[in-house]
Structure 1
Amino acid sequence: MLFACSWNTQTQAMRRRDTSWATLPYLIDGPHKITQSNAILRYLGRKHNLCGETEEEKIRVDILENQAMDVSNELARVCYSPDFEKLKGEYLEQLPGMMKLFSQFLGKQTWFVGEKITFVDFLAYDILDLHRIFEPKCLDAFPNLKNFVARFEGLKKISAYMKSSRFLPTSLYTKVATWGNK
């Protein structure tokens, strides 16, 4: 996963900075104090013109952002459940259909919204990466998704980050999760 955080002394410092919410992750960019990962991604997307240009592209951004959150929340529900083994089987049965929808949405485009990367490509990568950790073969039937993941990981700055000491293997969920907590 590209995005990871943990509770530490920085959270306490964040609280002292009079932010609205003392949650992780957070970003302080000049006068702007932003919490919540999607708010940060959306802010950075606007700042760097990564939110789509046409109305159609902006609609696709909105759709994928919300779909990614729905899928992320559903997997988290399974992974935090005491009935994980039962729910895992049900989830795995639905997984090919879920990946098919992502595949259809991407189609033959380079990125999910078109030929220019947007902030939701980061969300899509995160979801696809999480699922290939959960079920390593889940992308095998979808060459366009596998190509998307390879293309994303091949971006110069992403590749450099993933090879750096700053990119740390981390647990996917907190310690109370049944799966992905180590």
Structure 2
Amino acid sequence: MEFSIKKRKEGRAPWLSGQIRLLRYSGPGFLWFGSCAWTWHHSSSHIEAASHILQLEGPTTKIYNYILGGYGEKKQKEKEKNRIYKNQSATHVLKLAHAIRLLLEYTDSNYEEKKYTMGDAPDYDRSQWLNEKFKLGLDFPNLPYLIDGAHKITQSNAILRYIARKHNLCGETEEEKIRMDILENEVMDTRMALVRVCYNPDFEKLKPQYLEALPDKVKLFSQFLGKRPWFAGDKITYVDFLAYDILDYLRTFEPKCLDAFPNLKDFIARFEGLKKISAYMKTSRFLPKPLFLKTAVWCNK
């Protein structure tokens, strides 16, 4: 694999761009893009993230610089290591880890990211992940996953909450927590509805029907947000990262879908205006696309 090495400012770890990418990580988390695998490195623990083809799993607090059987020299010398692996499933979207990536940046977590690609059609080979899948001690082997010391976590939302708890981004009042629970699940339902359309061979036939129902769905998000600055209330929480992610999905699919809902457009502007998020979105590390795997009909590149 070919790759280039660049150094981030303020003493952060070098990261690689190309077939393998590395980023420094200082909190729990994972990353993934395309049909690839990622690994992060944390100063006090370590994480590995692998993003492959047909499944998804989550992030961690320390990184183990291991991918495809290879170890980075720098990370190989570290004593404490955590792993995060990421894989993509035919029923999941490639961007499922995007909210986690955003949360890592927002919390100024120092992490390292690695990626490996899945095979092309017609086989879409995923042996790189399958060769490791059942050797990692995961209760429910899947991608993305996160390993933080003795903690081994799968499921993207579980990983997101794990990171959020470390940074007090899980709400304070019972009302806030109820709203967060509702929104987290609504975002997943909305995402999966879009996934079913975009992976269907009859995409062009299904798209008009989906677009017809989309305004009513977006309206519900608008009503739920109301006049609040953030979805849970006055303070940002981890569900805002999920909400931003799904709204970004929808506006990518239909650019005008938010035009009738100024509070949602304001929410997006507010989120993208956050100092850490704004800075991240201006870097080459920001990977907004593809949204789906190579097996999808729409937005697979």
TM-score scaled by length of structure 2: 0.56
How far 1:137 moved relative to its partner? 0.7
Higher mean C-alpha deviation, range 13-22 or range 33-42:
13-22
Structure (1 or 2) with the greater helix fraction: 1
Q: Aligned partners of 2:239 and 2:292: how far apart in 1?
A: 21
How far 1:65 moved relative to its partner? 0.4
Q: Does the aligned pair in 2 maintain the 1:68–1:124 contact within 8 Å?
A: yes
Residue of structure 2 equivalent to 1:125: 244
How far 1:15 moved relative to its partner? 5.1
Deviations 1:141-167 (A, max 9, x none): 111101101111111111122112221
Residue of structure 2 equivalent to 1:42: 161
One-letter code aligned to 2:228: Q
Residue of structure 2 equivalent to 1:4: 32
Percentage of pairs with the same residue: 68
| Alignment partner of 2:196 out of 64, 73, 77 | 77
Residue of structure 1 equivalent to 2:14: none
How far 1:169 moved relative to its partner? 4.2
Q: Aligned partners of 1:28 and 1:66: how far apart in 2?
A: 24
CA change 1:164–1:14 in 2 (3 A) is farther
Structure (1 or 2) with the greater strand fraction: 2
Residue 160, structure 1, aligned to residue 279, structure 2:
yes
Structure 2 stretches of 5 or more lacking a match? Answer: 1-30, 37-51, 53-66, 69-84, 86-128
Residue 31, structure 1, aligned to residue 153, structure 2:
no
| Alignment partner of 2:205 out of 63, 86, 107 | 86
The structure whose Rg is larger is 2
Residue of structure 1 equivalent to 2:297: 178
Task: List, as ranges, runs of 4+ consecutive aligned residues in structure 1 with deviation greater than 6 Å.
Answer: none
CA change 1:130–1:157 in 2 (3 A) is same
Q: Aligned partners of 2:186 and 2:32: how far apart in 1?
A: 20
Q: Aligned partners of 1:75 and 1:40: how far apart in 2?
A: 22
